[in-house]
């Protein structure tokens, strides 16, 4: 969260207030509050079932909250509660100014459509009608995510896990979004593939000044990518702060346990 990575206005991009989601009697997440600034990377960590994915789904409007609001500063500078947007506005936001990188690439890609078509879809959705330009933009993005350009006409079902994740990222970034949600983007990949993906992500996030909310239970991922960290337990945020601070000097006993167990691995 260094000042130079922020955009000119130092107003928050995303504001969560009292975000609560219940699944009937079960708790998803409770009373989550935070602000995310332009260019800032926030990691949400916690054990399985602590409510990370639930929170991410509510923030990205994939789930309606039981209570609370999520404010987003639109491109015109106006802060809107995303749950007050109409369906058309919300869907436009999701495919232009936002991105979502899923753990399972099959949820984030069209597996039967070529890599070029996957990257080009958002462009076409917002009115691009020049095949040659769509294709050269797609080629450029394949290059940026280190996918061999000769694979442009191949479907992602022929890609490795790491390639699929990189393609998912390209597909999301092609419309120059300002905010990306990621749910365990490196989960399920083997270590060397993970490292390469993290490197790539770190570079892109810095180059493009992206704001990111990333869910992970891997503290090493949080350490490498995020400026700030939120630790969740039983649906609540129990500790939050600058990443290095929280990981090097955790205050909550639970976080201490989490950090030490990671260090043992």
Partner 1 sequence: MTLISATLGHAAPYNFAYLDEQTKRMIRRAILKAIAIPGYQVPFASREMPMPYGWGTGGVQVTAAIIGPSDVLKVIDQGSDDTTNAVSIRKFFEKTAGVAVTTSTSAASIIQTRHRIPEETLKSGQVLVYQVPIPEPLRFLEPRETETRKMHALSEYGLMHVKLYEDIARHGHIAKTYAYPTMVGGRYLMDPSPTPKFDNPKMHRSAALQLFGAGREKRIYAVPPHTEVVSLDFDDHPFEVNKFDKPCALCAAEGVYLDEVILDDRGGRMFVCSDTDHCETRRADGHRGELLGSPIEQKEATHVA
Ligand X SMILES: Nc1ncnc2c1ncn2[C@@H]1O[C@H](COP(=O)(O)OP(=O)(O)OP(=O)(O)O)[C@@H](O)[C@H]1O
Query: Given the rule CB under 6 A, which residues bind ligand X?
Result: 23, 26, 28, 46, 48-54, 217
Residues at the site binding partner 1, with contacts judged by CB under 8 A: 87-88, 91, 110, 113-114, 116-117, 120-122, 124-126, 129-132, 134-135, 152-153
Q: What's the min distance (Å) between Cβ of 235 and Mg ion?
A: 12
Q: Is 120 helix (H, G, I), strand (E, B) or coil?
A: helix
H or E segment to which residue 144 belongs: helix 131-144
Q: What's the closest the beta carbon of residue 56 comes to Mg ion, in angstroms? A: 8
The DSSP element (H or E) to which 55 belongs, if any, is helix 52-59
**Antiparallel, parallel or unpaired: β 26-36 and 41-46:** unpaired
Nearer to partner 1 by Cβ, of 135 and 217: the residue is 135
Per partner kind, with CB cut-offs from 5 to 8 A, the member of Mg ion, ligand X, partner 1, none near residue 242 is none
DSSP 200-236: HHHHHHHHHT-EEEEE-S-HHHHHHH-SEEEEEETTE
Q: Between 55 and 138, name the residue whose CB sits nearer to Mg ion.
A: 55
Residue 131 contact among Mg ion, partner 1, ligand X, none, beta carbon within 5 to 8 Å by kind: partner 1
CB nearer to ligand X: give 50 or 168. Answer: 50
Q: Which is nearer to partner 1, 170 or 232 (CB)?
A: 170
Q: Across-strand partners of 21? A: 29
- Determine which helix (DSSP H) or strand (DSSP E) holds 257, and give its type and residue range: helix 253-264
User: Could you tell me the smallest distance in angstroms from the CB atom of residue 94 to partner 1?
Assistant: 11
- Rounded to a whole number of angstroms, the minimum distance from the CB of residue 181 to Mg ion is 12
Closer residue to Mg ion (CB): 53 or 168: 53
The closest residue (CB) to Mg ion is 53
Q: For the CB of residue 114, give the shortest distance to partner 1 in the complex, in Å.
A: 6
67-73, strands of its sheet edge to edge: 26-36, 14-23, 67-73, 79-81
Return d(Cα 33, Cα 251) in angstroms, integer: 19
Nearest distance, CB of residue 46 and ligand X, angstroms: 6
Residue 172 has φ and ψ, to the nearest 5°, of: -80, -35
Which residues, numbered 24-63, are part of the site for Mg ion (CB under 5 A)?
Answer: 53
Tokens 């990671």 -> residue: 262
């Amino acid at each position: 969260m260094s000042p130079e990575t922020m955009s000119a206005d130092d107003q928050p991009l995303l504001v969560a207030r009292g975000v609560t989601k219940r699944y009937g009697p079960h708790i998803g997440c409770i009373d989550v509050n935070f602000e995310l600034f332009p260019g800032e990377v926030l990691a949400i960590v916690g054990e399985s079932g602590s409510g990370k994915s639930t929170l991410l789904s509510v923030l990205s409007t994939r789930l309606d909250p039981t209570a609370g609001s999520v404010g987003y500063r639109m491109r015109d500078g106006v802060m809107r509660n995303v749950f007050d947007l109409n369906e058309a506005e919300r869907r436009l936001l999701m495919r232009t100014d936002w991105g979502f990188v899923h753990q399972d690439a099959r949820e984030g890609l069209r597996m039967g459509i070529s890599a070029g078509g996957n990257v080009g879809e958002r462009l076409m959705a917002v009115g691009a009608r020049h095949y040659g330009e769509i294709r050269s933009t797609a080629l450029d993005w394949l290059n940026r995510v280190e996918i061999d350009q000769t694979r442009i006409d191949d479907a992602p079902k022929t890609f490795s896990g790491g390639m699929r994740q990189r393609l998912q990222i390209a597909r999301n970034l092609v419309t120059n979004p300002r905010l990306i949600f990621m749910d365990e983007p490196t989960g399920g990949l083997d270590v060397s593939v993970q490292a390469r993906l993290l490197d790539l992500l770190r570079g892109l996030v810095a180059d493009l000044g992206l704001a990111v909310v990333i869910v992970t239970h891997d503290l090493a991922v949080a350490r490498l990518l995020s400026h700030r960290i939120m630790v969740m337990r039983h649906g609540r945020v129990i500790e939050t702060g600058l990443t290095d601070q929280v990981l090097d000097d955790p205050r909550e006993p639970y976080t201490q346990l989490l950090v030490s167990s990671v260090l043992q691995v």
